């Protein structure tokens, strides 16, 4: 949600910049900004910048590469793989960014199951089959957990923005005209209406966070169950 005020022209400048179409030069600048964050280890900011970059221009191949690199550094390797696959199918000339194939190959090697140590006891066929069935379950759960963590982080940032705007609106003089964004349009509202709208948005965000947390807890229990099953099966091989 964006709130504009007649008394706050700088806020309008921020909205105008956010709604303008990005040129290719702007895309490159955003990608470099992402790289700058990565250079100082601020991978969460690098990820947020790269996401904004590919959101504005889904055809910008280098933006996907920067995003996948940040996701890898944050430990979300499966999500990084999906990002790179999206680059290959969606971006313009992804082959001109050789880092995409290289990083995808590296990540696939890292998430691939490690071969059993040679010289050990051979795994019985029925146990090997069960382990093979459990592996995709574990990967699916892990992938969804990573997605939930990403969404929770986004909602945390959204709540901070809402709280900031809410304080700014509360400090406006009585009778100040304010505007609320609805898609690409702006609706003139009074201060109280805007405050009520933000309260409603905060409630919606809290409900989403609560739902995601419940799902996260459920998935963690499922993950632990799968891990226990794998441990038990491996113990039978010793």
Together in a domain, 99 and 138: no
Region for residue 93 given its phi and psi (left: phi exceeds 0; alpha: psi -120 to 50; beta: otherwise): left
* Residue 36 predicted with pLDDT over 70: no
Q: Looking at the structure, do residues 183 and 125 belong to the same domain, yes or no?
A: yes
Answer yes or no: is pLDDT of 25 > 80: no
CA separation for the pair 187, 167 (Å, rounded) = 20
195 φψ region: left (φ > 0), alpha (ψ -120 to 50), beta (else): alpha
Distances from the Cα of 16 to the Cα of 12, 21, 23, 122, 206, angstroms: 6, 10, 15, 65, 29
Q: Identify the residue whose tokens are 């169950």.
A: 225
Residue 45: per-residue pLDDT: 86
pLDDT of residue 40: 55
Q: Kindly state whether residue 204 falls inside one of the protein's structural domains.
A: yes
Does residue 17 belong to any structural domain of this protein?
A: no
Sheet holding 185-189, edge to edge: 3-5, 178-182, 185-189
- Examine the domain organization and report whether 135 and 189 are in the same domain: yes
Give tens-digit pLDDT for 53-107: 889 998 988 889 889 888 988 889 999 999 999 989 988 888 888 889 888 888 8
| Residue 60 shares a structural domain with residue 36 | yes
165 inside domain: yes
Give the CA distances from residue 187 to residues 155, 168, 183, 200, in Å, rounded to whole numbers and listed in that order: 24, 18, 10, 17
Number of domains in the chain: 2
**What is the Cα–Cα distance from 157 to 148, expressed in whole angstroms?**
14
Closest CA to 48 of 158, 154, 155, 163: 154
Q: Is the pTM of this model over 0.75?
A: no
Residue 31 sits in a domain whose CATH number is 1.25.40.10
The half-sphere exposure of 49 on its side-chain side, counting CA atoms within 13 A, is 23
Between the two ends of the chain, the Cα-to-Cα distance in Å is 58
CATH of the domain at 142: 1.10.287.370
Among 112, 147, 169, the domain boundary falls at: 112
In terms of C-beta density within 10 A (0-12 exposed, 13-18 middle, 19 or more buried), how is residue 87 classed?
buried
Residue 141 sits in the same domain as residue 76: no
Domain that holds residue 208: 121-238
* 205 and 129 share one domain: yes
Residue 12 lies in a domain: no
Contact 51, 70 (CB under 8 A): no
The verdict on 104 and 138 lying in the same domain is no
Copy the structure tokens of residue 91: 């971006």
Q: Are residues 43 and 129 in the same domain?
A: no
Domain co-membership, 172 together with 133: yes
Tens of pLDDT, residue by residue over 110-156, are 887 665 554 556 777 888 888 888 888 999 999 999 999 999 999 99
Q: In this structure, is residue 14 part of a structural domain?
A: no
- Claim to verify: residue 56 and residue 126 sit in the same structural domain: no
Claim to verify: residue 199 and residue 143 sit in the same structural domain: yes
């Amino acid at each position: 949600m964006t709130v504009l005020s007649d008394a706050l022209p700088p806020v309008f400048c921020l909205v105008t910049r956010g709604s303008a179409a990005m040129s290719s030069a702007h895309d490159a600048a955003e990608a470099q900004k992402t790289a700058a964050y990565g250079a100082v280890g601020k991978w969460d900011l690098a990820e947020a910048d790269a996401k904004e970059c590919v959101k504005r221009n889904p055809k910008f191949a280098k933006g996907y590469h920067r995003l996948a690199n940040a996701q890898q550094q944050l430990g979300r390797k499966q999500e990084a793989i999906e990002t790179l696959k999206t680059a290959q199918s969606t971006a313009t000339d992804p082959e001109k960014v050789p880092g995409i194939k290289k990083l995808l190959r590296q990540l696939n090697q890292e998430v691939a199951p490690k071969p059993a140590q040679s010289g050990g006891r051979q795994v019985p066929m029925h146990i090997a089959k069960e382990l093979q069935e459990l592996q995709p379950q574990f990967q699916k759960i892990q992938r969804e957990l990573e997605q939930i963590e990403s969404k929770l982080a986004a909602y945390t940032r959204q709540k901070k923005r809402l709280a900031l705007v809410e304080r700014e609106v509360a400090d406006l003089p009585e009778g100040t005209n304010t505007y609320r964004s609805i898609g690409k349009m702006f609706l003139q509202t009074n201060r109280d209406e805007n405050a009520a709208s933000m309260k409603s948005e905060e409630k919606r965000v809290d409900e989403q966070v609560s739902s995601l947390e419940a799902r996260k807890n459920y998935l963690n229990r499922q993950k632990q169950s799968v891990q226990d099953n794998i441990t038990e099966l491996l113990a039978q091989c010793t």
